[in-house]
Structure 1
Amino acid sequence: MSLQIQNVSKIFKQFRAVNDVSFTVEPGEIVSILGPSGCGKSTLLQMVAGLQSLDEGEIRLDGKIISSPNMTLPPEKRGINMVFQDYALWPHMTVVQNIFYGSKIRKVNKQEQAETKNFLFNLLQLNGLENRYPSELSGGQQQRVAIARALSTKPTLLLLDEPLSNLDMQLRFEMRNELSYLLRKLGTTALHVTHDPLEAYALADRILMLREGQIEQYGTPMEVRQAPASLWVAGLLGMTNRLMATAKDSASVKIGDAIIRGNGTLTNGDDVIVVMDSEALKIGENGNEINSLKNSLHGRVTHSIFEGHKWRIMVETAGGRLTVLHGEQVEVNKEVVVSFERNHTFLYKQTEQVAPPFLVHNRM
């Protein structure tokens, strides 16, 4: 089942929560809507579900209009299942009754229900919880029941509103991988909302970056990671290393005495913010690791933090502070060389106002 969103807008008292959004989800495709709180992603999902009307544009399922300013097809007639962030479980029903309520209404035979139950209960770690009520479950368990309920009828279009947000870290890591595998195995078309880039990477065929109700970037996980369309997108994806620089030409800048090359479209003399991912940086004590495909900066270690598997090393450079993930502790005040590949270096003009947490580390 394909989903077409065409020039859709939602207005609340002159505030455009969703503003002229257009995209398509192809049959069997998983699209993640990624953005911070208040960007309009849940509102957009609710319009697809039929829980919110729209003020402009239209929504189609396989070419059939299900929402427009003049018509909203009721949710129960859309053939869409949804996993809510707040679970929305029936409090008077057991886990099994909640999960298979839809199957019962659709009169699915008992053998098929038993096969589905065995598969979902093993996948979602629900064995032993069959006869419990929602009030007897933890938040994470309730969320898993909600996911199982949505999957039990094998929907052709599934909406997921922050489906893993209430799971603990380890279970969230396991579940995003298993959910990605399961949706693809079932061939389910899915529209997924999250604020977590790692969850979007794991689940999505394409990621739609939503900013203040408008599309900032739309592409595959690889495309948005390797070429963030803006400084805002880079910040949303967790690229928090920011250095101040001055442009020399269209794709290079000067930081202190070093020339840094990367991806950007600049003009000589522009004030520039250089963005890098902590995991793309390497620390060395000399220039031996540096080659023609890498940039390098000299700096001084100011602090180090042990994070279990690696050390987070803070290095002060001529352009500001860098944070590097490194395999070993490095002594404070040690002079080091930080190297990083040019194709993982992003150059943005200082023309964009970026709110916290997308902060630039100014030179100390």
Structure 2
Amino acid sequence: MKAHQAFDNMFKRISLVFLIGILAWAYHNTCPPPPRLCGSPGGPPVTGPRVVLRDGRHLAYNEYGVSRDTAKYKIVFVHGFSSCRYDASVFHQELFEELKIYMVTFDRPGYGESDPDPKRTIKSLALDMEDLADNLELGSKFYVIGYSMGQQGGWGSLKYIPHRLAGVALIAPVVNYWWSSFPANLTMAAYKLQPRQDQWAVGVSHYMPWLVYWWNTQNWFPGSSVIAGTPNFSASDWELIAKHRDQGSPTPIPMRKEYVRQQGLAESIFRDMRVGFGKWEFDPMELENPFEKEEDGSVHLWQGDEDGLVPTSLQRYIAKKLPWIHYHEIPGVGHLLPNYDGKKEAILKALLLGKN
């Protein structure tokens, strides 16, 4: 009996040690390494201009078009997922000069050369944009264009800094399937349009955000297709990419992975997933029109009806709930909407000149 009892005790101790080991392994693999801050010892270098934000963080930026002093229109552009301040998707040299447009793009926190923000929210990003505009002396009002996951800055500015806005354009804005105004049957049908691996990746981002790093770095099963570089683009998008490649032009979406992710995955693309698909502080479909009169400004939402990343059905519902938004649905166009012929001109003219 004593022998059996000793064996049981030993087995329990071994089991406890084994369990502790498993938990330690799991914790180690779900906790990402600390970010490699730009300008820190051993970190990436700082290669471009940066502003200092209200909390001491740095935000890297890039400027396009005419000078701030001569500009008639001033735009803050918010890049998408796994992109950076070099995203010139809506830059059009001739039109910028003709209309006297100035545009500033910036690395969102944790991307490129902008310091990470472990407390990043939709609100904090909007305030970062306001800080950037004030540091660059863009004036009391400016335009905002948010592309894809850059919708965080677009919707966020409408919620938190509407008094600073001259107009807003949302281009193929990523949706959060858990915004409360969406009918459950509509979001479920749209959710299932994604590849299975993206359904899981987005679900983990919402329900188990602490697991996002492990989920997209383990090798047991596929993580997000977008992170893997095989996004669910439409056939029209892939044709556009091939066309650019044949012409020797840059890829429509900047894929400078080394620069984009140089400070680490956790505070760039994974933080983006946690914020974008997590619990928002507000529902965009409950926003009010920030412009009393049409001449005061306008809000535009652009969507391609062949977009394989963002369900068109959900954009139509948003446009229905917010009739003050000018909704532009473009046939035969995918997620790379501003890179199709004539589309960046249409986006800019609708936003700045009111030409639909």
What TM-score, normalized by structure 2, do the two folds share? 0.25
What TM-score, normalized by structure 1, do the two folds share? 0.25
Comparing both chains, which one has the higher relative contact order based on Cα–Cα distances under 8 Å and sequence gaps of 6 or more?
A: 2
Greater percentage in strand: 1
Query: Which of these two proteins has the greater Rg computed from alpha carbons?
Result: 1
Greater percentage in helix: 2
